Structure 1
Amino acid sequence: MKRTMKNLKLKSLLLAAVVAFGFTSCSDDDENGVEEGNAQLTVRMTDAPGDYDQVWVDVQDVMIKAEAEVGEEEGAWESLANVETGRYDLLQLTGGVSQLLADVEIPAGYLDQIRLVLGPDNAVVIDGDEIPMATPSAQQSGLKLNVQKELEAGVSYEYLLDFDVDESVVVTGNSGYILKPVIRMSAMANTGSIVGEVHPNETRSLVKAQNASNTISAYTDEGGNFALHGVPAGTYQVTITPDAETGLEMITEDNVEVEQGEVNDLQTIYLE
């Protein structure tokens, strides 16, 4: 049965480079100013750390697939309007920074999948040398991410996509590189965040939150700030691992609680 569709506001798709993709936040139209009959959808992409100076991804399109029409097996893919295409260095998107990809309206109703379409101009930078990454045609056609949610008019939804660099960049036998994207998508309203600041901040540190079910990580930015978004509710062990060259010791924070829709600020953490 085809469902009745109203207008939905797809507010923004964002590309970011922290270690976890965040969740969807929901609020009603009285709070966010969305016009009656519309809904707002925000999508962000973030990045999990990897051992590279830079990781460039070539974003060419963002597409969505709604519910199938009557008599059809599946819905048709549609490109979003005004997508901010281009090359993005995932490792620049740290400390909670994100890059807007799209801001459009789509029909409200059942949203099945989002597809991130990459081009061929992807590369890693190691010791100052930029090395192209081969991108299989199947990856260029688009990485499908399941949403499978009924989007209501007048409600804002925010999705964060977590681009795992370490898993996505594959080293081949001839010292080449292949990009096979591994992305985790989550909705902000169903998760929480862990933020804080690491001192000294002259060097980049890896911050990781882990429990039996989830592992989410991010690097600190130039100011020592970090933000782990899209963290499922639960209790975590958080480790802060500085660059080995600093000689500083790793620090562990136990029993860090994350609640749905809340931000746990660990404040300033001092390395010794």
Structure 2
Amino acid sequence: MKFNFFSIVLVAFSTFIIGCSDNNDNKNDFGRLTVNLTDAPFPHDLVAEANVTVFKVEARYKGGLELGAQAIDSNPATMKTEQGNHFVILMEEEVQVNLLDLTNGITKNLVDTEVPAGYYDLIRVYVRGVNVVLTNGTTYDLKVPSGAQSGIKIFIKPGLEVKGGLSADLLLDFDVSSSFVAKGNSEDLNNITGFNFKPVIKASNLSTAGTLMGVISEIKDDAAVGVEGAQVAIFAADTLNTTTFSDVAGSYMIMGLDAGSYTIEVEKEAYLKQTTQEVQINAGNKTVKDFELVLE
């Protein structure tokens, strides 16, 4: 009787261990992916809103095709095959965004979900309901070239690796100034006749990218005061990478910069331009760089 009892206990314990091992293996097959949206600031005083509605986001799965096939078999609703490629459906719901609200480190979360572990090299964002609202209330509805049918294709360079049981973060930087092109005289409110929508979006792998932030100020009455509307331009090897503008407090922030060395130029009308070279951006970290402007 004692032998049978201990045999039963041993079998039950072994089954428990195997079950736990299987569960751990399943967890290692999947990781978590978040996708956030931000905006490269739009230096246009005549525009009050730049609105888009995102209704679906997909990612192309490139690593571990066997695992991808297993994921399709286990949960076909979240994956599809298209011309030999595996696409993971990350989100299917309407998210309305005014892109002008997403500046200086403010982001909008689009995706936070589990995906098969492996590499992803392409994001497709499906949009509709695109419009621009001017400061006088005039609204222009824009045609979406392909975003509603085949999605806006955004390549991830370098590719994003999602590891089993861990999280990966992707940032989509929607360049409004390049994406919304004014018709007519863009400097005169009465002479703007509409906008063309030519979406320009950059994908940044936040595990290999860093953030640059700081304050633009000037000295008034022996005290530092923030300078609003100063342009901060980021150059890599003499090539313009991106720009931003300081807010009402003089603060600025640029996310998703690849690790490396950059030259930063800060300028505003009536002030002397400030230039700093060899500013180092480290992956996964924030670099703080403040500037003090002087009147010409």
The two structures have a TM-score, normalised by structure 1, of 0.73
- CA shift at 1:133, angstroms? 4.1
Partner of 1:63: 58
Greater C-alpha radius of gyration: 2
Partner of 1:25: none
Q: Number of aligned pairs?
A: 233
Q: Which of 1 and 2 has higher RCO (CA within 8 Å, sep 6+)?
A: 1
- CA shift at 1:177, angstroms? 0.8
The one of 184, 187, 191 equivalent to 2:209 is 191
- CA shift at 1:187, angstroms? 0.7
Partner of 1:125: 133
Percent identity, aligned pairs only, is 27
Partner of 1:225: 251
Aligned counterparts of 2:202 and 2:178: Cα–Cα separation in 1 = 11
Secondary structure in 2 aligned to 1:170? strand
The one of 247, 252, 265 equivalent to 1:239 is 265
Structure 1 residues 62 and 258, CA, compared in 2 at 3 Å: closer, same or farther?
same
Secondary structure in 1 aligned to 2:266? strand
The one of 40, 50, 57 equivalent to 2:32 is 40
Partner of 1:74: 84
Residue 261, structure 1, aligned to residue 269, structure 2: no
Aligned counterparts of 1:92 and 1:201: Cα–Cα separation in 2 = 20
Aligned counterparts of 1:105 and 1:139: Cα–Cα separation in 2 = 24
For each residue in 1:4-40, what CA deviation from the matched residue of structure 2 results, as whole angstroms up to 9, or x when unmatched? xxxxxxxxxxxxxxxxxxxxxxxxxxxxxxx665422
Secondary structure in 2 aligned to 1:195? strand
Residue 144, structure 1, aligned to residue 162, structure 2: no
Structure 1 residues 73 and 82, CA, compared in 2 at 3 Å: closer, same or farther?
closer
- CA shift at 1:210, angstroms? 0.9
Structure 1 residues 87 and 250, CA, compared in 2 at 3 Å: closer, same or farther?
farther
Secondary structure in 1 aligned to 2:207? helix
- CA shift at 1:196, angstroms? 0.2
Aligned counterparts of 1:168 and 1:204: Cα–Cα separation in 2 = 21
Aligned counterparts of 2:273 and 2:241: Cα–Cα separation in 1 = 17
**Counterparts of residues 59-208 of structure 1 (less than 5 Å):** 59-67=54-62, 73-81=83-91, 83=93, 85-119=94-128, 121-141=129-149, 142-147=151-156, 148-172=159-183, 175-199=193-217, 200-201=225-226, 203-208=228-233
Aligned counterparts of 1:181 and 1:131: Cα–Cα separation in 2 = 19
Instruction: Say whether the 8 Å CA contact 1:47–1:90 is kept in structure 2.
Output: yes
Structure 1 residues 81 and 168, CA, compared in 2 at 3 Å: closer, same or farther?
closer
Structure 1 residues 81 and 93, CA, compared in 2 at 3 Å: closer, same or farther?
closer
In terms of fraction of residues, the more helix-rich structure is 2
The two structures have a TM-score, normalised by structure 2, of 0.68
For each residue in 1:97-151, what CA deviation from the matched residue of structure 2 results, as whole angstroms up to 9, or x when unmatched? 11112222222234342211111x2222334334324223412231122345442
- The AA in structure 2 aligned to 1:201 is G
Secondary structure in 1 aligned to 2:199? coil
- CA shift at 1:181, angstroms? 0.5
Partner of 1:216: 242
Structure 1 residues 180 and 140, CA, compared in 2 at 3 Å: closer, same or farther?
farther
Aligned counterparts of 2:183 and 2:204: Cα–Cα separation in 1 = 30
